[in-house]
Every structure is written in structure tokens, then in C-alpha cells.
A and B are shown apart, each in its own frame.
Chain A
């Protein structure tokens, strides 16, 4: 866990990619969950954020 935050601080690719993947996954879950309409409404923004982040951070050094 500490190495994960360490990676975020030092702009390492692995940790940031993980974070972006989690955001994308959360966005997809929010899009399709049957529990709350408000989650569905905000899902797109979360996925978009995760996707844009992924594109940017995949250019960080390993």
C-alpha cells in the first residue's frame, strides 16, 4: 500500500494506471448498477475522467 502512494507521488506509471483503472471500473459499475439513479447520472463523468487519466498516465515512466 505504501509503495502505491509512493508511486503516485513520484508519478510512476503503475500506481497511476491502477488508479485510472479503478475509476473506469467504478464508472462502468455506476453506469449499470440497479440501485441509485444518481450514480447512473454521474457514471459517465467518472468513466471519462478515468479514461482521460489513463491516456495521460500511460505516458509516465515505469
Chain B
């Protein structure tokens, strides 16, 4: 890794001159600056993490503080990893994950591609499109239950208006077959702009000269799209997909407000399931093992994400 210029200057500075800079040395100043953040993160993240790992080997329950805490070894892990209901929860998460990613990538990329045509006023419209992304998922999710009401809901009305179906004949969050799509729709509405913004950055990073060269070679527009545009945007797209993937793997607020995991447990995503175990059934030890499994998965994905991040940064 390259040293930053100041480091090189500092190394090149003769000792006598360096001494003239009164006060703290760079080394102690660096520690002084970094330490508070690291200490806070250790206290609020790492210490609890270690605690969770320890609890995950016990049968501890918060609601029974006087019960004897037993060490149960890997029992929690084994029972979670052979539990069919949790497996189903994972599949519900997969359904949500895959469809939101597919839709967001398709719509997000198309929008970015269109915006990159630089029509007049594209900045204004981009800003409008981006708005849903920055809002509170819980508050917005809660309001979507209103839009999804049979009969009076705006969404049902619009669907009825467009397809001729009776707006009171279906309930997006009440029907077992529709609820998984209800959460996909809201998440796509909310997060498509995220993918769009990153794709737009990717598209804008492609220098015109590459297209000009391709034009000289008489490559068709279609060929240019597949051999220039797509490969050069791909690292950006990877970044967006990984980030949204991680976020939706741990999705909680939006879906809890929309469906609460229902009807039945058809939209009970992993985080909602975990919340039930930890804060409703109070099986703390068991939930800790569950949490560790999620931690490791997210941590693994995050390391791939950082790799993708550095790849984009080098551009």
C-alpha cells in the first residue's frame, strides 16, 4: 500500500526540523484521534459480540434470571441448523432477497441508463426519484398498509383501475399468496433509487472516447452496449447488489411494519424470526446462537463487499 504524501514528507523531514513542531508527536496524535472511536466500537459492538458467543453455548433465558444457567455446548447450533421452521424462514428471506435484487437491478439500471441520456431537467427528476430511499422504512412501511387496504387503499384502487379487477377482492397483506409480493413491491419502490444512483455513477465513469473508438470500428450500438457499457458498469452493479443483499438479508423494520411476518409466518424473514425467539419467547441462549449464525453470514458477505468496494475505488 502506498504511503500518503504526508507520511512521505514526514519521513523525509530532517529530525531537527521535525523537533521544531511543538506539541504532540504524530504517533501519539494518531492514537489520540483513533482511540475514542475504537474504544466506543469495542464497548458497543465487540464486547456484546463476545457476550453473545458465550451465551450461545448456554440455555440462559432473560425472563428467568434465577434459573441455573447450564452450558449446553453446541446444542443450540444443532437444533437451529436442523429446525425446519427456521429453514423455511431462510427460504422466505431468499424469496424476498432474490426478487428485490432482480427487480431493483433491472429497474434501477434501466432508469440510470435513461437518465444518462441527459435530457433536460434530469437532475430534478433524479432528486424526486431518490426521495423514498432516505425516508424511515418503519413509518413509510406502516403507511403502505393503508395503501394496501382492500377497497379503500390507493394501491388496490390503482390495480383495479388498470386491470378491471375488483379492488376489494384481494388483500395484498392478508392473502398468503400475495403477502410475499407485497413486501417485495414496497422494498423495490424504496430501494430502486439506490441501485439507480450507483449504476448512474458507473455509466458516467465510462469515458466517451471508448464509445468513439468503438464507433470508428463500426461496432453496432447493441454490441457496444454488451461489450462496453455492461462490463464497465458491472463492478458498480456488484457493489449495489452486495450492499442491498446484505441489507435485505437482515431486513426488519419495513417488513415488521408492513406484515409483521404474517399472514401466518409466510413473510417471517430471518430478523423477524430472531426477534420472536429473543424478545417474545425470551430464549436468550438459543437466540444468541441464531444471532451468531447471522453475524458470521453477514460478516462473510461484508468482506466480499469491501473487496468490491476497493475494486470500484481504484477506478
Q: Are chains A and B touching in the complex at the 8 Å CB cutoff? A: yes
Interface residues of A (CB under 8 A from B): 17, 20-21, 24-25, 27-28, 31-34, 37, 40-44, 47-48, 50-51, 54-55, 58
Chain B residues whose C-beta falls within 8 Å of the C-beta of A37 in the assembled complex: 82, 84, 87
Q: Are B303 and A51 in contact (CB under 8 A)?
A: yes
Interface residues of B (CB under 8 A from A): 77, 81-82, 84, 87, 90-91, 93-94, 97, 293, 296-297, 299-301, 303-304, 307
Q: Are B300 and A27 in contact (CB under 8 A)?
A: yes
Q: Is the interface of B mostly helix, strand, loop or mixed?
A: helix
New A-B contacts (7) at CB < 8 Å, excluding given A33-B94, A51-B303, A55-B303 = A20-B303, A24-B300, A28-B300, A28-B301, A32-B90, A34-B91, A47-B300
Complex formed: what's the CA distance from A43 to B87 in Å? 11
**Which 5 residue pairs of A and B lie closest in terms of their CB atoms, listed nearest first?**
A32-B94, A24-B300, A51-B300, A41-B81, A54-B303
Q: Are A40 and B87 in contact (CB under 8 A)?
A: yes
Identity of the chain A residue whose Cβ is nearest the Cβ of B94 in the assembled complex: A32
Identity of the chain A residue whose Cβ is nearest the Cβ of B306 in the assembled complex: A58
Complex formed: what's the CA distance from A61 to B90 in Å? 37
Q: How far is the CB of B92 from chain A (nearest CB, A)?
A: 9
Q: Is the interface of A mostly helix, strand, loop or mixed?
A: helix
Complex formed: what's the CA distance from A36 to B300 in Å? 22
Residue from B84, B297, B307 in contact with A28 in the complex, judged by beta carbons closer than 8 Å: B297
Q: Are A48 and B94 in contact (CB under 8 A)?
A: no
Q: How far is the CB of A29 from chain B (nearest CB, A)?
A: 9
Q: Are B81 and A34 in contact (CB under 8 A)?
A: no
Chain A residues whose C-beta falls within 8 Å of the C-beta of B90 in the assembled complex: 31-32, 40
Residue from B81, B94, B304 in contact with A21 in the complex, judged by beta carbons closer than 8 Å: B304
A-B contacts, 8 of them at CB < 8 A, read A17-B307, A28-B297, A28-B301, A31-B90, A32-B90, A41-B81, A43-B81, A47-B300
Q: With A47-B297, A50-B300 as given contacts, are A32 and B97 in contact (CB-CB < 8 Å)?
A: yes
Complex formed: what's the CA distance from A28 to B84 in Å? 17
